[in-house]
Structure formats: structure tokens, C-alpha cells
Amino acid sequence: MSVAKKEYKRITVKSLVEMKKNGEKISMLTSYDYSMAKIVDAANVDIILVGDSASNVMAGHETTLPITLDQMIYHASSVIRAVKRALVVVDIPFGSYQSDPKEALRSAIRIMKESGAHAVKVEGGIEIKEPIKRILNAGIPVMGHLGLTPQSIYKFGTYTVRAKEEQEAEKLKQDAKMLEKSGCFGIVLEKIPAELAKEVAESVSIPVIGIGAGNGVDGQVLVVHDLLGMTHEFNPRFLRRYMNLYEEMGNAISSYVADVKSSDFPSDEEQY
Ligand code: KIV
């Protein structure tokens, strides 16, 4: 169905709820630095996620667990300097909100104050209800994240599809309801059956953004380096690559090396 789109000069949490109501799909992409965020924002992506996937993509860690609050604030403030339109959401990193609601609030406040971000995202359901409430009570918008939650990878053991069994699916549905009732402005659903994701999206009034969660949700999120094909070893079924930048960048850099070695670069026109 094609939907007449309203022009948004600046995306807010209210615009997102309005988009869901109007049946307009929401686009969300990661960015971790100024230059990428400038391109992503200029392309009218609605939500820019400063994901803790920066731990993998930018720092080369195996999981999202090692990235620190200071590092997330550094990435987020670089992104914020570039963005004019998108809503910028920042992941609160592992270990900075789970143990104590007061610590969760302190972490969220640091992100908002030191980076200028617009909202935070946390992973989990009922287990982190109190931290979520504490952050929301301070007036900070919170996005939930259910399904495959990479900060709990050592509990799951693998990155395979979550909530295929009835019991886990039931808990996920209840967690989504809890996030909505607590006042979260949106939920990311990662790597769960499309049917279940659709049911969840239809059961809540807040936007549900999927990654590997099918087309029955209110929007989609991808890691921008995956979409551009800068990463090439990660090949999940849900990933659509729009470019093969790994190859293109490699070819460009090899040409530069060859030009330097052959003294072709710089030419007479490329010097003073
Ligand atoms: O950190 C991240 O990039 C994320 C997305 C995969 C949703 O949480």
C-alpha cells in the first residue's frame, strides 16, 4: 500500500507514533561517527541508532559487551554534531543499567547531557522494569529491545532466531506490553519469527522496529556498515546489501597504492 508521506523537519518521539498511526513505515539505521551520520541524516532516515554494535563494527570486538559508557558518549556526540533531522537514540551499554535503577538513571543522564542525544535504548523486559521506569521518570525517552538481545549473548549461547518456542514467545508478548505500559516510545524486535513480530506490533500503540523480524512491523533497522557491504563476513538471511563497499573501497585503495608505487600520483595538476 502506498502512503502519502507527511514531511517532517525534525523527527521526535511523537512523530514516530504518528507515523505508526498513519501507516507510514519508519526507517532506522546505525551510525557511530560524524561523517556517516551526515550521509544517513541527509538521506532522510527517521531514527539514527548509535548502537552498541559499535563494539563490533568500530572496535572489532566479538560481542557488544566490552564497549564502555564513555565510548558510547564519544560516538553519540560525534553523531549528534552531524544530525539535523533524525531522532538520535543511543544504546546504554552492558553493565551500565541492569544492576540498579539509580545507576541506570545516572548512565542515561550522562548520555543525554554529554552527547546531546534525544533518547536511549535498553535491552530486556520485566527484569529491567525498574531501571526503565527510573529513566522515564526523569523525562528521558526510552526505547526497548526484545528478542535476540546481544548483551545477553552468553546466556543464549548463539545468535540464532529467538522466541520460536511458545513459552519464550509468550514472555516476549508480555514484555512488549510492559514496555508500552511503562511509557517507552518504541521497541526494537530482533531476530524473531515474522508472525510473532506482527502480532506484537499489532498489539501495542507504540512503534515496533524490526531487524530480522519480518515485514509486519512498523519499521526496519539495519547496521549501516552491513547495508553498504563494508562488512562482508556477516551474512544473516535478514540482511539486504545495497552495495559491496568492501570490494569497491578495496579496489580504490589498491589503485592508490599502485599509483603511488608507479609515481603516477601526484600528477603535475595535483601539486603546488
Ligand atoms: O546495536 C545495534 O546496532 C542494535 C541494532 C542491531 C538494533 O541494537
Q: Among residues of the chain, what percentage have pLDDT more than 90?
A: 96
Cell reading at 249: 573501497
Residue 100 Cα to ligand 1 midpoint, Å, equals 23
Q: Where are the beta strands (DSSP E) in 31-141?
A: 47-50, 87-91, 119-121
On whether residue 270 sits in a domain, the answer given is no
* pLDDT computed for residue 1 by the predictor: 53
On whether residue 1 sits in a domain, the answer given is no
Distance CA 46, CA 214 (A): 19
On whether residue 63 sits in a domain, the answer given is yes
What average pLDDT does range 228-255 have in this prediction? 96
Q: Is the CB of 54 under 6 A from ligand 1?
A: no
What average pLDDT does range 209-238 have in this prediction? 96
Distance CA 191, CA 148 (A): 6
On whether residue 50 sits in a domain, the answer given is yes
Distance CA 36, CA 118 (A): 18
On whether residue 59 sits in a domain, the answer given is yes
Cell reading at 106: 545516572
pLDDT exceeds 90 at position 144: yes
Domain count, the chain: 1
On whether residue 264 sits in a domain, the answer given is no
Catalytic positions, written as ranges: 190
pLDDT exceeds 60 at position 70: yes
- Closest residue by Cα to atom 5, ligand 1, is 51
Q: What is the pTM of this model?
A: 0.96
pLDDT exceeds 60 at position 2: no
Q: Is the CB of 151 under 6 A from ligand 1?
A: no
What average pLDDT does range 164-171 have in this prediction? 98
pLDDT exceeds 80 at position 156: yes
Burial of 152 (0-12, 13-18, 19+ CB in 10 A): middle
What average pLDDT does range 68-85 have in this prediction? 98
On whether residue 260 sits in a domain, the answer given is no
| 78-119 pLDDT, tens digit each | 999 999 999 999 999 999 999 899 999 999 999 999 999 999
Residue 248 Cα to ligand 1 midpoint, Å, equals 25
* pLDDT computed for residue 122 by the predictor: 98
Q: Which helix (H) or strand (E) holds 208?
A: strand 208-211
On whether residue 253 sits in a domain, the answer given is no
Domain containing 164: what range?
Answer: 13-241
Distance CA 135, CA 183 (A): 10
Residue 7 CB neighbour total at 10 angstroms: 5
pLDDT exceeds 90 at position 13: yes
Band of residue 5 on the pLDDT scale cut at 50, 70, 90 = confident
Angle, CA of 235, 155 and 170, to the nearest 5°: 90
State the CATH number of the domain containing residue 94: 3.20.20.60
Average pLDDT, the chain: 97
What does DSSP assign to residue 266?
S
Q: Is the CB of 207 under 6 A from ligand 1?
A: no
Q: Is the CB of 146 under 6 A from ligand 1?
A: no
